[in-house]
Structure 1
Amino acid sequence: MRYLKVGKIVNTQGLKGELRIQSVTDQPEVRYKKGNVLFLAHADEKTPLMELKIVSYRRQKNLDILKFDSFNNINQVEQYKGYDLLVAIEENSDEINTEDGLYYFEIMGLTVETANGQLVGTITDILSPGANDVWVVTTDNKQTIYLPAIKDVIKAIDMSERKVVVELIEGLVE
């Protein structure tokens, strides 16, 4: 079984054991449905410590608020600030490449080039500041380029060749 990070516990919410989650999933309403199971793990580790069943989910400002069946008060959840929430992905799961998009781990490390074959760099990070993700590309000379993950910029993704074809619109590269 493989596990993918879907969020990080950043704080508690209220006194009844709810947690504030900074999500790294683009589909929190799907991932955090009542009855779904997530796994708790130490930060940046992929080995789950415990299984958690979701009792409730809501969005508040830029965070997701989750309540799990295992926790009923703030004293039970206080110790988990900074921990990660993982989802289990089967090795042969159809979820890995869906029509809805790619997981962050699949995008990281892809080579970025223009339509005429000019090498831009490698995707080294993904930011989720708001309406769309921003792919951080590091060039060979260590320059950082921020590419919004929108159709005007990202023209094609070829997973078999591990590359992304982009159109560098004015203002993206100095």
Structure 2
Amino acid sequence: MAKLSPLETKIMSDTMIKIGQILAPQGVRGEVRVMPLTDFPERFKTLKVAHLDDGTNLQVESVRYHRQFVLLKFSGLDNRNMVEQLRHKMIEIERKDLMPLPEGHYHVFDIIGLSVYNEQDEFLGKISDILQTGSNDVYIVEQQNKQPLLIPGLKSVVLQIDIAAGKMIVKLQEEWE
């Protein structure tokens, strides 16, 4: 079904999506070590301006990769002391700048919060989390006064996802209800 990003579940504000967190300065020449919060770390190669969660915009001078980190150098910040105050800041992009996903694939933050209905249009609950099992995702649906419902992210079970309407339609097996 959907290939969902495990790193993007708690990274969206109303209009901005966090794609990385500045962890610490790297070396003495003004680079910072960034933990990417995206399944597309190559996106940093095309990043011209880093929008930080405090409203600061920094011109990106260079990008390189080291192990699981992205190393960024910002124009005008040329030593360790100048970038020290950036520690723990988040790098954000606008929703319109998200990497396009293939048909039938969704971002985790678009799925969480969807209202779930069965084929008879009966409300089952809202998706509160997503388990990534390896073979398929499992949607956790919080039900009122009941145990959470676990719905496998399979095409035979998830009949429709309408992000714009905030709705998912599923076909449940009798023993799940």
Higher helix share: 2
Structure 1 pair 27/114, CA: closer, same or farther in 2 (3 Å)? farther
1:126 and 1:15 mapped to 2: Cα distance?
40
Gaps of 5+ in 2: 1-14
* 1:121 paired residue number: 125
CA–CA distance in structure 1, aligned partners of residues 138 and 71 of structure 2: 26
TM-score by length of 1: 0.61
**Corresponding residue for 1:45?**
none
8 Å CA contact 1:155, 1:166 repeated in 2: yes
Q: Contact 1:12 / 1:18 at 8 angstroms: preserved in 2?
A: yes
SS in structure 1 of the partner of residue 110 of structure 2:
helix
Work out the percentage of aligned pairs sharing the same amino acid. Answer: 29
Q: Distance in 1 between matches of 2:169 and 2:70?
A: 37
Relative contact order higher in (CA < 8 Å, ≥ 6 apart): 2
Q: How many residues align?
A: 157
Matches within 5 A, 1:15-30: 15-16=28-29, 17-23=31-37, 25-29=38-42
Residue by residue, what CA displacement relative to the aligned partner does 1:81-104 show, whole Å, maximum 9, x if unpaired?
Answer: 221111134xxx5x5794434445
Sort the Cα spacing of 1:18 and 1:99 in 2 relative to 1 into closer, same or farther, 3 A. closer
Q: Tell me, in whole angstroms, the C-alpha distance in 2 between the residues paired with 1:148 and 1:12.
A: 42
Supply the RMSD in Å over aligned alpha carbons.
Answer: 4.1
Compare CA radii of gyration and give the structure with the larger one. Answer: 2
Task: Tell me which residue corresponds to 1:51.
Answer: 58
User: When you count strand as a share of all residues, which structure comes out higher?
Assistant: 1
